[in-house]
Amino acid sequence: MSTEQGRIAWVVGASSGMGRAAALAAAREGRAVAVSARRADRLDAVVAEITAAGGVARAYPGDATETDWAQRTAQAVAQDLGGIDELVLAAGLNTPQRAWADQSIAELEDVVSVNLVAAVRAIDAALPALRVRGGTVVVVSSYSAWTFSPGAGVAYSASKTALGSICRTLNAQEAQHGIRATHLCPGDVDTDFLSRRPVVPDAEARAVMLTADDVARSILHVLDAPPHVRIDELVISPLAQR
């Protein structure tokens, strides 16, 4: 694989929102990009946009919660594109029924499966390739993982908070292989994900939030840091964050 920077990024959750913005931004900087999500049609649109601009991208659709999906996909990405240098995990799930008074255990398990278990599976699957040249992992978490946010919900808060420990264990155990991980905690972001809130923010509230592109710039800041620099945790929030 020959790209301007010789880097290959795998973005999970790339069909919309922050993941899509990260994939497009990474491609603009000369990276070959592998994009994954469940919605194949939206992934195809991302690939088409990247290739139309002269970039290199391939789509690997699938359900990240399936037991062997991450392993199969990581192997395919490494084989097709020549490796994996960067892993960006931007898939996430929440539910409007998120309090002890109205949550269902089935939905709680779904949220934890997407936010935590699927992320661990993707990291574990990508590690062999990441170790080859020393890779970077960016876990897009949440402001509610950095500080307690009462409205985030039981499952979401617990699963996102746990991602901080995932990043810390990676940094403690994999630095010897040149791997570094960042726990990225964005505040309110104007994306389709807001439709999962019990009360969906209106246009006035969205106007003062971060954009997906704001988060993508922060992801690139992490990915472009010199190899000897590790950004353990990065919290970004809109000026209006409460």
Catalytic amino acids?
Answer: 156
State how far the Cα of 160 lies from the Cα of 199, in Å rounded to an integer.
21
Query: Are the C-beta atoms of residues 197 and 153 closer than 8 Å to each other?
Result: no
Pairing relation of β-strands 86-89 and 8-12? parallel
**CA neighbours closer than 13 Å in the CB half-sphere of residue 217:** 6
The pair of three-digit structure tokens given for residue 85, joined into one six-digit string: 């240098």
φ, ψ of residue 218 in degrees (nearest 5): -70, -35
Q: What is the CA radius of gyration of the chain?
A: 17
